[in-house]
Amino acid sequence: MNKIRISPTAEGTITNIAGLFISIAMEQINQKDIFSVALSGGSTPKSLYEFLAQDSSADHLPWDKIHFFWGDERAVPPDHPDSNFLQASLTLLESRLIPAENVHRIRGELDPKTAAALYQEEILAWFKGTPPQFDLILLGMGFDGHTASLFPGSQAFQDSNQNAWVSAIQIPQLSLGRITFTANLINAAEQVVFLVTGQSKAETLFNVLEGPNLPNKYPSQLINPHNGSLIWFLDQAAASLLTPA
The residues of the shown chain that bind ligand 6PG, judged by CB under 6 A, are: 40-44, 72, 84, 140-142, 146-148
Q: How far is the CB of 234 from ligand 6PG (least distance, A)?
A: 13
Q: Which of 141, 43, 25, 121 is nearest to 88 (CA)?
A: 43
In the complex with ligand 6PG, the residue whose CB is nearer, 67 or 201, is 201
In the complex with ligand 6PG, the residue whose CB is nearer, 39 or 99, is 39
Asked if 218 and 208 touch (Cβ cutoff 8 Å), the reply is: yes
Q: Indicate the SS3 state at residue 104.
A: coil
Q: How far is the CB of 36 from ligand 6PG (least distance, A)?
A: 17
Q: CA 201, CA 59: separation in Å to the nearest integer?
A: 32
Q: Indicate the SS3 state at residue 25.
A: helix
223: exposed, middle or buried (Cβ count in 10 Å: 0-12, 13-18, 19+): buried
Q: How far is the CB of 202 from ligand 6PG (least distance, A)?
A: 13
Q: How far is the CB of 177 from ligand 6PG (least distance, A)?
A: 12
Q: How far is the CB of 24 from ligand 6PG (least distance, A)?
A: 19
| Dihedral sign of CA atoms 77, 82, 84, 90 in order | positive
Q: How far is the CB of 144 from ligand 6PG (least distance, A)?
A: 9
- CB-based contacts of 45: which residues, under 8 Å, 6+ apart? 39, 138, 140, 195
| Angle, in degrees to the nearest 10, between helices 46-54 and 10-32 | 60
Name the DSSP letter for residue 191. E
